[in-house]
A and B are shown apart, each in its own frame.
Chain A
Amino acid sequence: MLEVRRSFGERAEVKGRAFKVQDREQFDQLVLPHLRAAFNLARWLLRSREDAEDVTQEALLRAFRFFSGFRGSDARAWLLQIVRNTCYTWMEKKGSMGSNVEFDESLHLSPMPGPEAQAVSGSERERLTRALELLSPRSREVLVLRELEGYSYKEIATITAMPIGTVMSTLARARERLQELLAPPARKEAARDV
């Protein structure tokens, strides 16, 4: 079956044996190098560079405050965990969660020149960006962590606090949906009729 043998218990072990770090210098060395990854995740979750700037700053401050509690070897994953939590808190505050579970068709399949029509025009990067932004936050999150960060399912499960099976199914649905959004309109109609 899936390699769920690498279970969550491992996290506790890592906690137990790892070093304890506290001061600013170590924070600069261990955490700050991952600033771009932090900003990238925030940007994709929030769909806005401006919002991502604010939230990244907040997240880094939070990370610094929690830093004395950081025991582990993967500062990047630790930071991304804080970034995504800060993003979700921010979205809840702003009421911009949309549907947090899955893509809401009724919301997004608006009449011409709806977002989907836009998603198929423009450069490859623009099309992908628009299509990604139509996905739910959870789908965007797992896609970014998998495709842009290259994290394993288990690492994604740790960062997002989702069970590993949910990571897998969310990722599968997100990719299928992305493909649909990127398909030429004719093929999409055909696909919907099925």
Chain B
Amino acid sequence: MTCEENRTILHAYLDGELDAPRSAEFEKHLENCAACVRALEAQETLRSKIRHADLYEPLPNDLESKIRRQLREASAPVPKRFVWQWLAAAAAVLFFAGISWRYLPKFGADSGLSASAFASEIVDAHIRALQPGHLTDVASTDQHTVKPWFDGRIAFAPPVKDFAEEGFPLIGGRLDVLQGENVAALVYGRRKHFINVFVWPERAGEAEQYTGSKNGYNWISWKQGELRLCAVSDTNRDDLNALKDLISR
């Protein structure tokens, strides 16, 4: 074995990585090679310099909390597939809302055309909500679960009450988009039907109340404080009126 080869072996020896026979062989070489002895000593010095230089990098103060925050976000229990479905639906609604916003006058008490555009959109939103997995973002019959869920998701507080005893059990809530704006949607059950109640801040110039129907779906829209509510369902108009009376009670 040449001295050159031994220079690499020397490091394995230094690191205690040689097995016993190989180690003994190298020690024998050291007895006859002053150069390797010097090299070994130099390496031992270098090693102790490194160990004493305190090279281990201290952690930045806020790195751990940053990472914990990231991990919390990454592990939030939102099924990915649902998010994509939801985003796709929202994108579609935004697209059509954008079109109607541009080409149709704003719906209101004065225009029959805009009211029908509104009717289409609200009925479409209701039908869309009935697609599997779309009905609720927060599924709960407990108003104390559903109401806080909207906190921080929208800039207004929709009235959330359960009317199970009156025959309109609260099923849950979700966010939706109407005319390009975020709205709250409350979902109630009525026998085997669903009723979507959309809620958004009242816009200027809307009538107190109006109703309509399209393709067998009925809707009723009314003003309540600073909010505008609109209940939509395939159930009959009397049911909608009853629910409206309960909500605005």
Contacts and interface: CB of A to CB of B under 8 A. Distances in A.
Interface of A: 1-3, 24, 27-28, 32, 35-36, 39-40, 43-44, 49, 52-53, 56-57, 60-61, 64-65, 124-125, 128-129, 132, 143, 146-148, 152-153, 168-169, 171-172, 175-176, 178-179, 182
Interface of B: 7-8, 10-12, 15, 17-19, 22, 42-43, 46-47, 49-60, 63-64, 66-68, 70-71, 74-75
A112 to B, nearest CB: 25
Contacts of A52: 57
Can you list the 5 inter-chain pairs with the closest CB atoms, starting with the nearest? A172-B11, A43-B57, A40-B57, A125-B53, A172-B8
Contacts of B56: 36, 40, 148
B60 A168 contact: no
A53 B75 contact: no
13 contacts: A24-B75, A27-B71, A35-B63, A39-B59, A49-B57, A49-B60, A53-B63, A57-B67, A64-B75, A124-B49, A128-B55, A147-B47, A175-B46
Given A60-B67, A61-B70, A128 B59 contact: no
B74 A64 contact: yes
Contact of A147 (B10, B50, B54, B63): B50
Given A24-B71, A61-B71, A179-B43, A2 B64 contact: no
Nearest to A132: B55
A39 B60 contact: yes
Given A2-B19, A24-B75, A35-B67, A175 B55 contact: no
A39 B57 contact: yes
B60 to A, nearest CB: 6
B47 to A, nearest CB: 7
